[in-house]
């Protein structure tokens, strides 16, 4: 005859209680952190300050961009030593 499921027979699953609790807390936190907020700027003085800051020209140091040469992948791995080593003409081996 089969025994009914009891807390004693299910005690093997008690290790699962902590991860499930942590997961539930994480889900509640994620829902709270991802909620929609009304963070729009409503103050006219703040809007004017932002508009003034955006209208200023950038200093020359901030506009300077140095282009980096791109090394295109060739699809084949080439060792640096193989490219720079001089090739010997084929001849008899010693």
Q: How confident is the model at residue 7 (pLDDT cuts 50, 70, 90)?
A: low
Q: How confident is the model at residue 19 (pLDDT cuts 50, 70, 90)?
A: very high
Alpha carbons 73 and 59: distance in angstroms, whole number: 36
Give the angle subtended at the CA of 29 by the CAs of 23 and 30, to the nearest 5°: 90
The predicted structure's pLDDT at residue 68: 75
The predicted structure's pLDDT at residue 61: 77
Average pLDDT over residues 11-38: 89
User: How many Cα atoms sit within 13 Å of 51 on the Cβ side?
Assistant: 7
Q: How confident is the model at residue 62 (pLDDT cuts 50, 70, 90)?
A: confident
């Amino acid at each position: 005859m089969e025994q009914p499921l009891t807390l004693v027979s299910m005690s093997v699953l008690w290790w699962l209680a902590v991860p499930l609790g942590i997961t539930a807390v994480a889900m509640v936190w994620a829902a709270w952190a991802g909620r929609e907020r009304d963070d729009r700027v409503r103050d006219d003085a703040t809007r004017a300050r932002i508009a003034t800051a955006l209208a200023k020209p950038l200093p020359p140091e901030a506009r300077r961009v140095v282009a980096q040469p791109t090394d295109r992948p060739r699809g084949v791995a080439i060792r640096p030593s193989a490219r720079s080593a001089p090739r010997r003409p084929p001849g008899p081996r010693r």
